[in-house]
Structure 1
């Protein structure tokens, strides 16, 4: 009888994960002619009872700080054609692919296989990284584990099968990154240094010592052992994974010491070495590209961007090489994650060198169809375009040639068509973008539409009221006043088809207008009535009449709770009932401090009217003036200097002889001196 697969587990007393691990192996044990071997290092009888439900092949092992010895204890008793090993803190999500690999006989065409370990960085499983691991191979008399820490299974030869099956692994999850580093380094470094003394010709030991020193920031030591290991590795006839790690990390570690020029020179020497394989060149080109950016060696940087692209394409076409040319943290997948950052550096290099032919080529290499991969890099693409303002036309022209449906590229094509005064083409592309706008770019699409008077419906169809509210607040706040006035006049006619959206922008605009300028009484009351009417109209569509009858209800938006009493106060003022309006103005003042300066303007008008021979100055007026000052004190205490300056200016015009206001004005000017647009 033939055993296809031997599964070996190293088990301690981690009961919280052992059950999941064993349960995930059950399909393999059921569907395949396979065996389970457990190397048991624990002491808990409960753990043993659970293991015995799945296998009787249990090997007691006294832990001796040597993973290879423990693994080899299980390997020695394995009888299968193939061997697979794992720990008791990891479990398979789905083993059907592995089962099919053996049932179909496909395994006979391979010597080894990789599957994926999903390493979680937190106990909630929200942050993780995936990595291919070589933990399955054909069992031969030469098969063994080597190295006491971070043990390796050798020989691991090709042809090699890459599986998509994966295990969950929480072994690296820690609540604090510092705790993880401190614990693992303090545990690993002393035995590694001791082993190096016993075997100073081990390049793998040098690699792992270098890793440990790097993890605690002792980069000079990390460089020292990296150099030693690399020198030793070159004595081997074959090129092993530790040599790849040493090749790639030496220039990186040197850069951490601050000597960027030496790091660049070392990386360039490494590229020329005969033992540097394609994967080594690929990963080295990432480091060298970053170094060239920091050192402002733009033309040389372009050389390494091209090298990265060349080696990436080669390994994608030759996956059998990619799967063997790998080391801890250095895989084809990890290199692919650097694709867009490397190409982005290339775009900056090309622009600095005014090499737009290369820029065009690099843009064509970008994975535009993968929106998830591209989206985080849109801000840097904007930075590239805006940094080289005098070359913006040339940059936009390069986007014009790209054959992609990517929404960011589409926006650039709109801008190019607009510059070329091809309005019909620009509008056609704009509508396409509006239907699929990337996050953060609605702003630019609105600007384009307003400049060219395109209908906004295509964009507003995909914009929620909440998003529009946020946009209205932001655009009103960010734009300079003269610019905002011109923009407002152009955009409002385009919003007639969406009255709700029109009113929201109107409210934001009126707030900015009312809080920054002084108006004649008639104009002030007219603008306030327009403001209140806009807000109350919105509320009448959104809330029941009985809710609106109690505007003090905290469930209602602040603007409505402010506008409702203010609207009633304005009605009384127009009827000449100034004194009766005071309680309503007092209520409004406390609800929305942002508009307290505007209420101050209204108070000044009332003062002038009340001081006429027909009416005496009421005590309520003086109290209300004091309340406005209290609002101003609150804004000062909260460090809201811009808002405080607006309220102060209006209050000073109301009470020009009040020395306290003059003192507050000086404090606002001193504290808010660095704030843009204070005046």
Structure 2
């Protein structure tokens, strides 16, 4: 009979996590020939009762500020071929890969193994860092733990197996950045400083001290120990993992102090060292790119984007070297997580220096065929195109050379073909995009179709009413009036087969006209009549007749109720009863304040007609002006400055001598200008 795996668990009295920890290793105890050894440093009987449910091997240990001694107490009792250790504030997410590693016999080909510890930085679990940790190894008579703090399991020999399994760890989470007592730092740091007093030139201890100071934001102290540790490490013949960590983190910690120029200088110095390994180089490039961005040293930044790509490519071709070169938080995989952000910075650097060749190179480096990695990047790429629109010809040409079926790239190739008049190619590419439209790019595809008269059927069949309503509202708001009128004229024939969609766009278009410009006296009535007809046609499609007959009872949307009221007011006006329409128009403004400007302009026209006919302006007219002021106050309180300005433009002409109105106008202008960065 043979024990494959000994699991050693260091247990205090953390009952809030011990249950999760034990439950997560239960599959290992069930599926493998394994044993659990609990080294108990606590005092509570409740903790012991829970442990006894999982193992009879409970070793009492009096805590003496020495993790290695505690770990070695468990190690001494281990009988397995392999040994694994963890803490009672860690628990596995899924142990299936570990089980398969041993059940398949694969473990016999390795001497040690890594898995991932997810270290949470807050108690809510929203921020965390993933670190590869060597917590498993073949058990030999020489196996032991060294160092009182941040203990090492030695010998930890190659070949290593890297597992994707990860364990949750909240030990370093704290309630606030300044809550030092809520972390392990207050416990670890005195032990480390005592170790350094005894061994002042130990690079391992210096690294650990730097880590602790970094965790509490004391970056100057962290830099001091980082420098000291690196100087000592460079005197050793062999390059150990702590030297790798120190190389990478010294410039990073300096950057945290705010001295970016010094951080760049230090990183460049370390890059020139013959002892600097490829994994360190890629991490250093990440720091250099960030510093160059903040200092606007774009040409230098581009140099390190290229070096990052070069070194990362070398490591991917030599996975064994990549696996060997690792320290806490310093691995090839960790650097690769920064690949897309680094390349994006490179795109901006290239544009700042008019370096189109580098931009095209970077576009070719991006992992276009890995949609799960690349899709979140599209908004940044659109920002890049928009910010450097003078380079769009070169940017589109760069996309056009990419050998990928990525739909975002396909969309750029469509724009390229359109620009150079290859309309058959443009339409074929457009169709491919429309059939599998990238999220968020339906709008641009519609714009392309309208410019070129492509059928919208593919997109319309894929877009739901909600998505179309969102699009219609946005396009009506964002386009200039003249451009909107031209766009509406061109798209209307393409929507003949989709009357509901056509009417929805028409309503947004008319709302924009009615709320955003001073119209000729006769035009508000014409446009309002057209608007009401469109809205009520939709209502007749969507609602039963009894609902439309009693809109207040059934609380149908305000847009429809407004249309009913204004339709009746226009009918009264057409029959010559100008004054009789005023109460209805007053009610319409209260129902749908967005259309106040159009109603006000119509009221002004009515006032002129009443005056020209010799009739006195009704008192209701003056009351309505006061109610429109209330609507305006409401818009101002909500910060809706553009809508407020549209209403104000009409109210000023209606009440030109009203000082309150003039003061409100000044406030709207001032606040609206500030909001837009003026």
Query: TM-score per shorter chain, which class?
Result: over 0.9
Aligned equivalents of 1:290, 1:667: Cα separation in 2: 42
Give yes or no for the alignment of 1:438 onto 2:441: no
Secondary structure of 1:461's aligned partner: helix
Deviation of 1:313 after TM superposition, in Å, equals 2.5
Secondary structure, in 3 states, of the residue corresponding to 1:8?
strand
Greater CA deviation, 654-663 or 140-149?
654-663
The match for 2:338 is 338
Listed one character per residue, the Cα deviations across residues 180-224 of structure 1 (whole Å, up to 9, x for unaligned) are 796444443333223322221221221122223333443332221
Query: Are 1:421 and 2:421 counterparts?
Result: yes
My pick for the range that moved more, 145-154 or 353-362, is 353-362
Question: How far has the Cα of 1:32 moved from its partner?
Answer: 2.9
Instruction: Check if 1:380 corresponds to 2:380.
Output: yes
Matching residue of 1:665: 665
Cα gap change, 1:53 to 1:515, in 2 (>3 Å):
closer
Instruction: Measure, in 1, the Cα distance between the counterparts of 2:357 and 2:166.
Output: 43
Cross-structure match for 2:566: 566
Distance in 2 (alpha carbons) for counterparts of 1:82 and 1:184? 29
Residue 262 of structure 1 deviates from its aligned partner by 2.8
What displacement does 1:174 show? 4.9
Aligned to 2:556: 556
SS at match of 1:576: coil
Equivalent residue, structure 1, for 2:476? 476
1:403 aligns to what SS in structure 2?
A: coil
Is the Cα–Cα contact under 8 Å of residues 565 and 584 in structure 1 kept in the other structure? yes
Partner Cα separation in structure 2 for residue 244 and residue 584 of structure 1: 78
Written as runs of structure 1 = structure 2, the 5 A alignment for 1:149-548 is 149-174=149-174, 176=176, 178-179=178-179, 183-352=183-352, 354-520=354-520, 522-548=522-548
State the match for 1:632 in structure 2: 632
Partner of 1:75: 75
Q: Residues 644 and 99 (structure 1 numbering): CA distance in 2 closer, same or farther, change over 3 Å?
A: closer
Distance 1:261 1:579, change over 3 A: closer
Contact 1:431 1:459 in 2 (8 A): no
* Cα deviation digits, residues 365-387 of structure 1 (max 9, x gap): 11111223223322332343344
Matched, 1:109 2:109: yes
In structure 1, stretches of 5+ residues that fail to align are none
SS in 2 for 1:552: helix
The 3 A distance-change label for structure 1 pair 548 and 43 is farther
**How many angstroms apart in 2 are the aligned matches of 1:542 and 1:621?**
35
Please give the alpha-carbon distance, in whole angstroms, between the structure 1 residues aligned to 2:171 and 2:386. 45
What CA distance in whole angstroms lies between the structure 1 residues aligned with 2:657 and 2:260? 64
Give TM-score scaled by structure 2 length: 0.92
Q: 1:165 to 1:555 in 2, by over 3 A?
A: farther
2:51 is the alignment partner of 1:63 = no
User: Residues 223, 532 of structure 1: CA spacing in aligned structure 2 closer, same or farther, 3 A cutoff?
Assistant: same
Q: Are 1:450 and 1:491, in contact at CA under 8 Å, matched by a contact in 2? A: yes
RMSD value over aligned CA atoms? Answer: 2.7
Q: Which residue of 2 aligns with 1:644?
A: 644
Pair 1:182–1:10, CA change in 2 (3 A):
closer
Distance 1:421 1:259 in 2: 51
| Secondary structure at 1:71 match in 2 | helix
Cα distance, 1:335 vs structure 2: 0.8
Offset at 1:125?
A: 5.7
**Distance change (3 Å), C-alpha of 1:104 and 1:675:** closer
Q: Does the C-alpha gap of structure 1 residues 232 and 663 become closer, same or farther in structure 2, counting only changes over 3 Å? A: closer
The structure-2 alpha-carbon separation of the partners of 1:282 and 1:644, relative to structure 1 and needing over 3 Å to count, comes to: closer
Per the TM alignment, residue 513 of structure 1 is displaced from its structure 2 partner at its CA by 1.0
Match in the other structure for 1:618: 618
Please name the residue that 2:146 is paired with: 146
- Report Cα offsets for 1:468-504 as digits up to 9, x if no partner: 2222222222222222222222222222222222112
Task: Tell me how far apart the structure 2 counterparts of residues 96 and 656 of structure 1 sit (CA, whole Å).
Answer: 78
Q: Is the 8 A contact 1:17 1:90 kept in 2?
A: yes
Asked if the contact 2:180–2:186 (Cα under 8 Å) also holds between the matched residues in 1, the reply is no
Cα distance in 2, alignment partners of residues 323 and 340 from structure 1: 21
* Residues 394 and 57 of structure 1: CA distance in aligned 2, closer, same or farther (over 3 Å): same
The alpha-carbon deviation at position 281 of structure 1 amounts to 1.6
Distance 2:256 2:94 in 1: 41
How far apart in 2 are the matches of 1:542 and 1:616?
43
- Residues 24 and 94 in structure 2, CA contact (< 8 A), matched pair in contact too: yes
For residues 217-259 of structure 1, what are the alpha-carbon distances to aligned partners after superposition, in whole Å with 9 as ceiling and x for unaligned?
Answer: 4333222111100111223333222111100111222223333
For the residues of structure 2 that align with 1:93 and 1:315, how far apart are their CA atoms?
A: 29
The aligned residue for residue 47 of structure 1 is 47
TM-score (normalised: structure 1): 0.92
State the shift of 1:519 in Å. Answer: 3.9
Mark the CA change 1:236 to 1:171 in structure 2 (over 3 Å): closer, same or farther.
same
With 223-232 and 1-10 compared, the bigger mean Cα shift is at 1-10
Query: Which runs of structure 2 are paired with 1:7-46 in the superposition (5 Å)?
Result: 7-46=7-46
**TM-fit CA distance, 1:124:** 6.2
Contact 2:476 2:484 in 1 (8 A): yes
TM-superposed deviation, 1:15: 2.7
Look up the SS of the partner of 2:162 in the other structure.
strand
How far off is 1:616 after superposition? Answer: 5.0
* SS of corresponding position for 2:77: coil
Shift of 1:111: 0.6
Measure, in 1, the Cα distance between the counterparts of 2:670 and 2:125. 49
Equivalent position of 1:137 in the other structure: 137
Q: Answer yes or no: is the 8 Å Cα contact 1:160–1:320 preserved in 2.
A: no
What's the secondary structure of 2:244's corresponding residue?
Answer: helix
Q: Evaluate the alpha carbon distance shift between residue 25 and residue 647 of structure 1 in structure 2; reply closer, same or farther with a 3 A threshold.
A: closer
Contact 2:132–2:329, Cα closer than 8 Å, also in 1:
no
Structure 2: which 5+ runs fail to align?
none
**Does the CA contact (< 8 Å) of 2:130 and 2:329 recur in 1?**
no
